Structure 1
């Protein structure tokens, strides 16, 4: 392609679906309390620590913990405000918040639950009880995430669908604007796919799209990169923290993967097998630019790639 500028057991354990140690964030302004909880979880969890509400919110966005153990009484921003901001943030709203507090009256618990907390643990705590409650809420979160993800999967190809693409692009665009980082988007179109369907039939076409999706997805090396089916024979790929040069390198790898896939396409004008054309756009959000502008720019570059002969990538930095 040419390019231009948990623990084991006999029963099913949902936590094994994480494929890694669960990530916990412990927030308390008293280091001795943090250390006590750290000792409970350090062996089989990845533990992050914060001593203020502001630091907690920053670590939530940077480290993406699976569960938050949060003190209520802290100077400056208290635990209630931390919880409120988490639940108001689309990127963080699914994060389970467990308050760890010396207050156990009904009013305190009611306020926390109304803000979105899932549980309360009273100080002084029993390590066994804390572990059991954390495990329960981690399990519920993993199960909820799995069910939520099924809603976002394209039934034919097994990659993410357009709905998830729209939501994820909006979140990554806001994150890039907040952090001043680069965001790239690839629009990918299978060349002459209507001709492929006409010649080989729709069953072969469906099978071809599934194989194409797997080949494209296999080129993604970072968990944050997202491939989705945009519609028909078109795919989209969201690449956080990626400049144009990196996105074009990935486009090159995808083109080579299609060549290696070697799905015969006798009616293609550009190759003897299925190939793709790719439009790439990258930006650091500024001014009045919106996520829709990135989609438009990538789509325009895809048009250039197709009008320039297909089986190639074109890109631009906004």
Structure 2
């Protein structure tokens, strides 16, 4: 099983070495000594969390965090800022620009470990909850306004083309007016799903909503949501939600009595 990729940024080599020693058992680590190198690394690697010092020459940690959180490609990545500035004003500034956590130096390695684990676990739980719960909306996975807007737009694009059995990442990238690699990377970064998997889950969630309404037969719902056969739909529904469409429809009917 692959460990989460964490990017460590600090202009002090000793601190980078210290952080690496503390974190290397649990995470795949990448390091940078300045913000410019860090941004270059983000282009090359699929980073899941960033730990950055604030006080750095050139672009400091605040500006780096602001850049990441306003960049469509990276705004979903959680950022932890480390700083020797322990004033309330600097803490407020860090949180206002979108930092997900703010840790004052000197800090306890255990504290940092817990913050990293909590941020990654919370995101993982939200992704699992979305994928396993038939009626939970895709935007439940968003951690920023830009990500929420992206997920809502993506959701609408899939819904409008739901009955197209050929809908795939190529079609979706054209509809979203995005390059295929950018769309793939963004979907994967937020949801840990491939575009194909997300399209399939969105189909199944739409089907769950139609089953809950109780107005259509299962073969009709399969066709309306883009499945090539009722059998294919039934197998996919069972695999995703742990019950057959018939069982789900019955449960929903009983709830509404």
Q: With structure 1 as the length reference, what TM-score do the two structures score?
A: 0.46
Per chain length, whose mean CA-contact separation is higher, i.e. which structure has more relative contact order (CA < 8 Å, sep 6+)? 1
Alpha-carbon distance between aligned partners in 2 of 1:208 and 1:166, rounded to the nearest angstrom: 26
Comparing 26-35 with 137-146, greater Cα deviation is found at 137-146
Higher strand fraction (1 or 2):
1
Please name the residue that 2:229 is paired with.
Answer: 208
State whether structure 2 residue 45 is matched by structure 1 residue 55. no
* Cα-to-partner distance string for 1:211-264 (whole Å, 9 max, x where unaligned): 49x9xxxxxxxxxxxxxxxxxxxxxxxxxxxxxxxxxxxxxxxxxxxxxxxxxx
Please name the residue that 1:82 is paired with.
Answer: 64
Structure 1 unaligned blocks of 5 or more: 1-18, 177-200, 215-318
Please name the residue that 2:179 is paired with.
Answer: 172
Please name the residue that 2:14 is paired with.
Answer: 32
Alpha-carbon distance between aligned partners in 1 of 2:165 and 2:26, rounded to the nearest angstrom: 32
SS of the counterpart of 1:98?
A: strand
SS of the counterpart of 1:59?
A: helix
CA drift at 1:169: 5.7
Q: With structure 2 as the length reference, what TM-score do the two structures score?
A: 0.56
SS of the counterpart of 1:74?
A: coil
CA drift at 1:173: 5.9
Give the number of equivalent residue pairs: 171
CA drift at 1:168: 9.3
SS of the counterpart of 1:120?
A: strand
Give the superposed CA RMSD: 3.8
Structure 2 unaligned blocks of 5 or more: 132-136, 139-154, 184-218, 236-257
Please name the residue that 2:107 is paired with.
Answer: 125
What are the within-5 Å matches in structure 2 for residues 85-234 of structure 1?
A: 85-146=67-128, 151=138, 152=155, 165-166=172-173, 170-172=177-179, 202=220, 206-208=227-229, 211=232
Greater C-alpha Rg: 1
CA drift at 1:35: 0.8
